[in-house]
Amino acid sequence: MRRFFDGQFKHVYIGKVISETPSCLILFARSFHFRKILSNGSVTGQKVSESSGLSTEAICERAIPWASIEFAQIIDEPINFEAAAVWAPCGKIVLDNKQKTYITSTHDHGE
């Protein structure tokens, strides 16, 4: 998601497109919100806690304005986006699913 002001949380949505309108994209998705991710003491495979800077919301329908979308990545095969967010090597955060779907990394942001 695009950020419009300093200090605004970063957002990533992972899910399925339900429909499109001229003003927004409708998703059935899970949202992840974060500022700076802290990986101190993280262990590969361990669930990421909110104290590390990642907040997760429940899966639901979401209308995302086109103007807010910075880019979208198409994932060809079905994924389990209900899986827990876990630490992967090198400060990356992934879903604990078969594909290890990427969410964010400590290297993606530095504020």
Distance CA 12, CA 104 (A): 8
Distance CA 53, CA 39 (A): 9
pLDDT tens track for 44-85: 999 998 888 888 999 999 999 999 898 888 888 888 999 999
Residue 5, domain member (yes or no): no
pLDDT at 24 over 50: yes
Instruction: List the domain range (segments joined by +) for residue 22.
Output: 10-105
Residue 73, domain member (yes or no): yes
Residue 71, domain member (yes or no): yes
Backbone angles phi, psi at 64, to 5 degrees: -110, 120
Residue 88, domain member (yes or no): yes
Q: Domain tally for the chain?
A: 1
Distance CA 103, CA 93 (A): 6
Quote the pLDDT of residue 111.
47
